Amino acid sequence: MRTVTVQLRADDEIGTTDRRLFGAFIEHLGRCVYSGIFEPGHSTADSHGFRRDVPEKLHCGTSLIAW
């Protein structure tokens, strides 16, 4: 059996991570999508029908939500 050694050097920054890599997947459970994050007639919905108040209330900070 071979032994492998990994050395982490937190002080050596090589770049930044794109925020689009951190997203969320929303399941069609209950009313999570429709009448949840997607509600075209809602007062806080954008031009595509997505409610802008939901991510703010969840404090999730995701840049991408897929379902």
- How many Å apart are CA 19 and CA 32, to the nearest integer? 23
* Tokens found for residue 14: 């090589």
> pTM for the complete prediction?
0.49
* Mean pLDDT (whole number) for 49-57: 82
| pLDDT value at residue 60 | 63
Token pair, residue 8, equals: 């982490």
What rounded mean pLDDT belongs to the chain?
80
